Amino acid sequence: MKPTEFNHMARLAFRPLTVLAILALISVIVGAQAPVPTQVDESTAKRVVRLLEQNHMAKPQINDTIAVQWCKNFLKDLDPQKVYFEKADVDEFMAQATTLDDKIKDGNLDFARQVFERYLKRADERLAVVIDLLKQKPDFSVDESIVDDPDLIDYPANAQEANDRWRKRIKLDELQLKLDKTEEDEILKKLLIRYRDRNRMIHQFDTNELLEVYLSSLTRTFDPHSSYLSARTLEDTIGQQLHLSLEGIGASLQSEDGYAVVKEIVPGMAADKDKRLQPDDKIIGIQQENGEEIDLIEKKLGDVVRYIRGPAGTKVRLIVQPAGTKERKIYELTRQKIELLEQHAKGQVIDGKGDNGQVLKIGVINLPAFYGDTEAVLRGDPNAVSATEDCRKLLVDFKARKKKTKEKGAEKRRENEKERKKP
């Protein structure tokens, strides 16, 4: 699945033109086709279903009842706010719902592709409407409201109702920016970038991501805590969530208008020590050791991050466009291991009151995520991260504090007793 492509002339003319002129130059997105599942995807789907029925603790039987809820989950995962699909789309898809259990057992993923292709089509239609709406001035004198809980509304009955929902969403977005004292031209520019980025992300979906959403929609029908992770997601999850560390330059990125933009520099890490890379700089490419360059403009943010990450101690050459300039600079940075310390288990003792008003000391453990480097633990590595071990240490500490508090209390009572016995 290729990223969304825009008219070349529009891209070249972007900076010098006013926002309204930019709106007129944006071309229609072409090639709105869903990613085509591979044989590997089909084999994976069949294997996942077998594993679920045979090994999942819920022992689910993937049947028509499960399939109907699965279909609902999938539609909701793609369009949680109910602003893309129309009622007729949903009715068409739900009419096929009871066939999904039979199809998936054969590795047939045609339904996922069919739904996603319609999703792409609707997304492009909505973007065209958004661009047109941004040319118009909203009437803030009209008293109207918007329902922000999608569970309270149905899918729009037709394109007209869907477009009206987008009109209200854009009106709300503009109002919020106005309240933030944003200038009129800047409001239009920000919203244009926001909605283009959303559409670009949809078009950048690949087969792995589509399968991940589709199968996770299935697992949640019988367990909200079970999900399917693609190999790429699993790799990222192991590095960050389980090991609580990653290797890179120490900068968080955000996708804006097709660029990977630096949003934050991690204190004490490679980029912070180097001092050249700054927030709002754009990382537009990577220069390899042989001088060849990899263009990162309009690449998926996850792919950009993977180019920048690498083993600690290795170097990466970033091609950077500093904020507010047209310059092109190359910064060579040495990657470091970044510890995600804020995700470690933490404990604190708070004061509470018992039924008789007695002051109680309550130990509270905050565990933001489950983590653990099993291989390092088995090796006996003293620096291995482990949620189990960290929680055990916190409990030992709580017990030690309790013992110390009791000893202090007993000592105080003895002193008070001595004072009372004095003549």
Q: Which of 303, 319, 339 is the last residue in one of the domains?
A: 339
Structure token pair of residue 159: 């394109």
Looking at the structure, tell me whether residues 254 and 220 fall in a common domain. no
Q: Which residue has the tokens 């739904």?
A: 115
Residue 8 or 308, more confident? 308
In-domain check, residue 240: no
The pLDDT of residue 12 is 24
Nearest to 200 by CA among 86, 301, 306, 81: 301
Looking at the structure, tell me whether residues 334 and 365 fall in a common domain. no
pTM (two decimals)? 0.71
CB-based contacts of 18: which residues, under 8 Å, 6+ apart? 185
Q: Which of 297, 324, 339 is the last residue in one of the domains?
A: 339
Structural domain boundaries, residue 175: 8-228
In-domain check, residue 144: yes
Looking at the structure, tell me whether residues 261 and 356 fall in a common domain. no
Q: Which of 176, 194, 228 is the last residue in one of the domains?
A: 228
In CATH, what number is assigned to the domain containing residue 292? 2.30.42.10
Looking at the structure, tell me whether residues 413 and 384 fall in a common domain. yes
Q: Is the pLDDT of residue 162 over 80?
A: yes
**95-124 confidence digits (pLDDT tens):** 999 999 999 999 999 999 999 999 999 999
Residue 242 or 78, more confident? 78
The percentage of residues in the chain with a pLDDT greater than 70, rounded to a whole number, is 91
**203-259 confidence digits (pLDDT tens):** 999 999 999 999 999 999 998 888 898 888 777 766 666 777 778 898 989 888 788
pLDDT, the chain, mean: 85
3-state secondary structure 199-266: HHHHHCCCHHHHHHHHHHHHHCCCCCCCCCCCHHHHHHHHHHHHCCEEEECCEEEEEECCEEEEEEEC
In-domain check, residue 329: yes
Looking at the structure, tell me whether residues 161 and 291 fall in a common domain. no
Number of domains in the chain: 3
